[in-house]
Amino acid sequence: MSRSNSRTTTTRTVVLRRKPWKETSFLLELFSPDLGRITAIAQGARSEKNAGGSEPLAEYEMSLYHSNGPWFLRSSHLVRSLRKDYRRDTVMYAACELYEQTVLPPEDARSHWDLLLAFFDYLQHEKRHPIAIFWRFALHVCHLLGIDLDIERCVACGQTDNEWAAFFPMRNGLVCNNCQPSLAEPALLPLSESTSRLLHALPHIGNVLDEIEIPDETIQQVNRILLAHLSSHFNKPFHFKSLQLYG
């Protein structure tokens, strides 16, 4: 819970992105349960003494100063580091990229904060397929935003147990093998058998992580589906630069 006056707020935060600003400072993209997504300036933070108070993939309690202009970081206390290993860190960075690019209503900040931290918490113990946990997280984000990606029924016939043949961007969902031949849609994104099986399992993926394999082709196709869905709804290109390094 934030404690506020007209000039200072103390709140929990996650650093979504940090980049150099001027000669000695950082520009921080932050997400907070109280403020939503904001930009703050960490003055003098690029010195070796102060750089550790605003690193990505960590949860902080920050004191932020605001007065008719940008936010400034006054002080920060590390609550916990979220870093684990290369693949888990990569998908956590992808979640930060998603929050940075998405329009998150301020009134829903608490719900998105709880979802983000639940995702981070789950990854602390899941090593086998962190990318699948990211996909499930992204589906929950879409649901909170009211832009559901329908992966449980064919958007043409409504069937739920047929093999998926393609993603239909204009209908926000999947098309089954029975319906795909009758759709003369150049925008359809074809899916492999492995991707079809993965998408059937994704709503309950936590129960089958030890039983499945996820080939590179499936990773590329599911990532492409997510990017196409998000880009369509927000009318701008989405990207997950961090996932280009996943492997």
* 200-212: pLDDT as tens digits: 999 999 899 989 9
Average pLDDT, the chain: 91
Tokens of 134: 């990211």
The band of 49, judged by pLDDT with boundaries at 50, 70 and 90, is low
Cα dihedral value 142, 145, 149, 155, nearest 10? 170
Tokens of 78: 């590390």
- What is the C-alpha to C-alpha distance for residues 130 and 120, in angstroms, rounded to an integer? 10
Tokens of 164: 């998926």
- Give the residue ranges of DSSP H helices in the chain: 86-101, 109-123, 130-145, 193-201, 216-234
Domains, the chain, in order of start with CATH, read: 3-81 (2.40.50.140), 86-245 (1.20.1440.120)
Q: Is the per-residue pLDDT at 47 higher than 80? A: no
- What is the C-alpha to C-alpha distance for residues 209 and 132, in angstroms, rounded to an integer? 8
Residue position matching structure tokens 């997950």: 240
Q: Is 186 exposed, middle or buried (0-12, 13-18, 19+ CB in 10 A)?
A: exposed
Q: Is the per-residue pLDDT at 57 higher than 70? A: yes
- What is the C-alpha to C-alpha distance for residues 182 and 173, in angstroms, rounded to an integer? 16
Tokens of 66: 């605001």
Per-residue confidence (pLDDT) for residue 183, from 0 to 100: 86
The band of 2, judged by pLDDT with boundaries at 50, 70 and 90, is low
pLDDT in tens, 133-144: 999 999 999 999
- The verdict on pTM exceeding 0.85 is yes
pLDDT in tens, 104-124: 999 999 999 999 999 999 999
